[in-house]
Structure 1
Amino acid sequence: MKIAFYGSSLLSAYWNGAATYYRGLLRALAQRGYQITFYEPDVYQRQQNRDIDPPEWCNVVVYEGTVDALKNVAAEAALADIVVKASGVGFEDDLLLQQVMKAARPGALKIFWDVDAPATLAELKGSSEHPLRTELADLDLVLTYGGGDPVVAAYRAVGAASCVPIYNALDPETHHPVARDRRLEADLGFLGNRLPDREARVETFFLEPAANSSDLRFLLGGSGWKDKPMTPNVNYIGHVSTRDHNAFNVTPKAVLNISRESMAQNGFSPATRVFEAAGAGACLITDHWEGIDHFLKPDEEILVARDGQDVRDILAGLTVERAADIGRSALQRVLREHTYQHRAVEVDRQFRSHSGRKEAAE
Structure 2
Amino acid sequence: MSLHAYWDGERIDRAQISRHNVDQVRSKAEESRTLVHPFCEHRVFIRSKSVGGRLRYHFAHFAKEKATCRWAGESESHLALKDTLVFESRRLGWDAEAEAGKSGKDRPDHIPDVLAVHPNTGQRVVFEVQVSSQGAEEYRRRQDLRTVVPNTRSLWLTRNADVALEAGYVPIYHLERGDEKVATDLIATRYVLMADWVDAALRNRLDRPRTKHAWELWIAEEEARAAAEAAQQEALMAKLDAAEAARKTKKEADAEARRQRIAARNSASAADPARWGWGQLPPLAVAHNFRTYLDASYSQATRARAVAEDLGYGDGEVAQHGGHGGAAAHELREAPTDLGADT
TM-score strictly above 0.5: no
Structure ID, larger Rg: 2
What's the TM-score once normalised by structure 1's chain length?
Answer: 0.26
Q: Which has the higher contact order (CA 8 A, sep 6+)?
A: 1
What TM-score do you get using the length of structure 2 for normalisation? 0.27
